[in-house]
């Protein structure tokens, strides 16, 4: 493997060169071993990526620690200027990033071009701007004393991310962490590791000093675990599943490291009898985006019984019109699931639901024409109350439709989950919109819209969907040690 690692330091992904080694202390570092990166599009092996272990993690944390004094001492305007150059670099390479991410995790190229990659750049640019605005605080005068509140960068931030939107979710943490003056070690997801490496190139070209930004590739067990247990990290930002979060919380506990967790969901979409039905169906069909592999996805449709037949008929009709196929084609609406293991999990959830009395109005099986990891968009009805399909996160192109009679019933069922990431409400009654949004347990409630995200607003989950909030000042609260200095006259 040593020879292999030495000889295969980069891959060409649709003609774009991607370095497959770690990025530590401003240098490319290989590992003795590599792991295979398969594309969901055709299950082809597209790269052998450096498989990091505790040794590479130690080196990356040490590099980040060494770079911290100088980076944190830079005036915020200078740091922000460098980070804006990173944003420029991302914007200049949107097409490359889009093509590599699409090949790597099977998400739609059109989503990357129009929304995801521009948002990646914004994650850097917006927090560079906020840092200049928000990290300075006017002094307060309290009972004759002057109080100064400062946001001191915490130190070394560990970032661990999932595969479903890897670069967007990583930069959502990296942007504020770096803008606040921290240094960063990222462990990208092993099922979609490639765009993090391109980000390292862009950081380097934009003038981010060596050691400020580091990437250690590898599996959760071999590279993620030593990073989370490392005694020299100061913050741990994790996006992923609840079971992994529980393991990570235990690993980080002895070091008393503050955690920010963005986890799974089982979000509801509530459609009231006064809803604009066309809008409700539009929002419902959106839930098949990224083949349903979206944390915020509304998996449970709760529909008033008086309109349920019409809603379901239109949803099934629209779902039948979705074009499933190669995500590199602009007119594809829905692609493949990320990996064989995940495909089997999603299939298993649906098979058990069907065996338990649920009915598939459409889908309910793999797409046998396309084969591979393509699973048909699926609408299930008649699922048993409390059954697995209504309570567990499936993370695939599967939605359930249930009916309700009253507003109280709708809210109670929406809240009957251990998650609480998001909820969507469709109603034309403004008073109901206020009442229901107030009563729902969720980090984000959308009324007559979905996926509207403002980087200055707080984002996070209630219940098992996470710990903490990020966005705007909430991000800096997490990535900084907030200090109050009291001056006596």
- Contacts with ligand NAD, residue ranges (CB under 6 A): 160-164, 169, 187, 189-190, 219-221, 224-225, 228, 239-241, 244, 247-248, 262-265, 295, 393, 395, 421, 461, 466
d(CA 56, CA 126): 31
In whole angstroms, how close is the CB of 54 to ligand NAD at the nearest point?
12
Number of alpha helices (DSSP H) and beta strands (DSSP E) in the chain: 17, 22
Give the CA-trace dihedral at 290, 292, 294, 296, to 10 degrees: 130
CB of 261 or CB of 476, closer to ligand NAD:
261
In whole angstroms, how close is the CB of 237 to ligand NAD at the nearest point?
11
Q: State the sign of the Cα–Cα–Cα–Cα dihedral 118, 123, 125, 129.
A: positive
If phi > 0 it is left, if psi is from -120 to 50 it is alpha, else beta; for residue 181 that is: left
Q: Is 329 a catalytic residue?
A: no
In whole angstroms, how close is the CB of 187 to ligand NAD at the nearest point?
6
Helix H segments across 142-241? 166-179, 194-206, 225-228
Query: Residue 419: how many CB atoms within 10 A of its CB?
Result: 26
The radius of gyration of the chain's CA atoms, rounded to the nearest angstrom, is 23
CB of 122 or CB of 225, closer to ligand NAD:
225
In whole angstroms, how close is the CB of 416 to ligand NAD at the nearest point?
19
CB of 211 or CB of 396, closer to ligand NAD:
396
CB of 132 or CB of 286, closer to ligand NAD:
286
Token pair listed for 41: 């599009």
CB of 82 or CB of 215, closer to ligand NAD:
215
Residue 381 CB-density burial (10 A; 0-12 exposed, 13-18 middle, 19+ buried):
middle
How many CA atoms lie within 13 Å of 313's alpha carbon, on the beta-carbon side? 5
In whole angstroms, how close is the CB of 145 to ligand NAD at the nearest point?
41
d(CA 477, CA 54): 29
CB of 105 or CB of 134, closer to ligand NAD:
105
Spatial contact of 52 and 214, defined as CB atoms under 8 Å apart: no
In whole angstroms, how close is the CB of 168 to ligand NAD at the nearest point?
9
In whole angstroms, how close is the CB of 355 to ligand NAD at the nearest point?
24
d(CA 470, CA 261): 10
Token pair listed for 21: 């080694």
CB of 164 or CB of 183, closer to ligand NAD:
164
In whole angstroms, how close is the CB of 459 to ligand NAD at the nearest point?
7
CB of 225 or CB of 280, closer to ligand NAD:
225
How many CA atoms lie within 13 Å of 29's alpha carbon, on the beta-carbon side? 23
d(CA 456, CA 130): 8
Distances (CA, A) of 425 to 234, 287, 303, 329, 410: 38, 14, 10, 32, 10
CB of 155 or CB of 218, closer to ligand NAD:
218
Token pair listed for 194: 């490639």
d(CA 160, CA 216): 10
In whole angstroms, how close is the CB of 238 to ligand NAD at the nearest point?
7
The answer for residues whose C-beta is within 8 angstroms of residue 46's C-beta and 6 or more apart is 11, 13, 37, 38, 39, 103, 104
Query: Residue 466: how many CB atoms within 10 A of its CB?
Result: 27
Distances (CA, A) of 162 to 96, 295, 317, 420: 20, 10, 32, 19
Spatial contact of 270 and 299, defined as CB atoms under 8 Å apart: no
Q: Which string of DSSP letters, residue by residue, matches 328-346?
A: TSTT--B---S-HHHHHHH
Catalytic residue among 56, 262, 393, 470: 262
Query: Which residues are catalytic, by number?
Result: 262
């Amino acid at each position: 493997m040593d020879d292999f690692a030495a000889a295969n330091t980069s891959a060409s992904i649709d003609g774009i060169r991607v370095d497959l080694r770690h990025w530590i202390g401003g240098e490319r570092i290989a590992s003795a071993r590599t792991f295979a990166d398969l594309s969901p599009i055709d299950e082809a092996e597209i790269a052998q990526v450096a498989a990091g272990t505790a040794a590479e993690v130690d080196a990356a944390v040490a590099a980040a620690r060494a770079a911290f004094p100088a980076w944190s001492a830079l005036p915020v305007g200078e740091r922000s200027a460098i980070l804006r150059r990173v944003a420029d670099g991302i914007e200049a390479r949107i097409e490359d990033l889009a093509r590599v991410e699409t090949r790597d995790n099977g998400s739609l190229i059109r989503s990357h071009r129009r929304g995801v990659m521009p948002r990646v750049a914004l994650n850097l640019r917006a927090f560079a701007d906020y840092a200049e605005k928000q990290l300075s605080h006017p002094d307060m005068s309290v009972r004759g004393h002057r109080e100064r509140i400062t946001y001191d960068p915490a130190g070394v931030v560990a970032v661990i991310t999932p595969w479903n939107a890897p670069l967007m979710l990583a930069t959502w943490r990296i942007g504020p962490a770096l803008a606040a003056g921290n240094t960063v070690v990222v462990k990208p997801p092993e099922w979609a590791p490639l765009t993090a490496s391109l980000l390292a190139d862009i950081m380097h070209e934009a003038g981010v000093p060596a050691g400020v930004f580091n990437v250690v590739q590898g599996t959760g067990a071999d590279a993620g675990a030593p990073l989370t247990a490392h005694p020299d990290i100061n913050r741990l930002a994790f996006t992923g599943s609840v079971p992994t979060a529980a393991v990570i919380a235990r690993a980080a506990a002895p070091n008393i490291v503050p955690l920010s967790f963005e986890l799974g969901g089982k979000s509801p979409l509530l459609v009231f009898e006064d809803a604009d039905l066309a809008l409700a169906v539009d929002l419902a069909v959106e839930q098949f985006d990224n083949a349903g592999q979206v944390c915020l996805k509304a998996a449970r449709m709760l529909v008033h019984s008086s309109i349920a037949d019409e809603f379901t008929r239109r949803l099934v009709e629209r779902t039948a019109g979705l074009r499933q196929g190669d995500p590199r084609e602009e007119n594809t609406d829905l692609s493949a699931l990320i990996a064989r293991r995940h495909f089997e999990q999603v299939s298993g959830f649906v098979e058990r639901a069907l065996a338990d009395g649920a009915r598939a109005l459409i889908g309910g099986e793999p797409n046998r024409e396309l084969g591979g990891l393509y699973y048909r968009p699926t609408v299930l009805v008649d699922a048993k109350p409390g059954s697995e399909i209504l309570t567990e996160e499936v993370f695939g192109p599967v939605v359930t439709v249930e009916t309700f009679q009253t507003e109280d019933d709708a809210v109670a069922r929406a809240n009957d989950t251990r998650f609480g990431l998001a909820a969507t409400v469709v109603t034309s009654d403004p008073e109901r919109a206020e009442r229901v949004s107030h009563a729902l347990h969720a980090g984000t409630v959308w009324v007559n819209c979905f996926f509207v995200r403002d980087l200055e607003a707080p984002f996070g989950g209630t219940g098992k969907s996470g710990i903490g909030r990020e966005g705007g000042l909430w991000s800096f609260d997490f990535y900084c040690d907030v200090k109050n200095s009291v001056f006596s006259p």
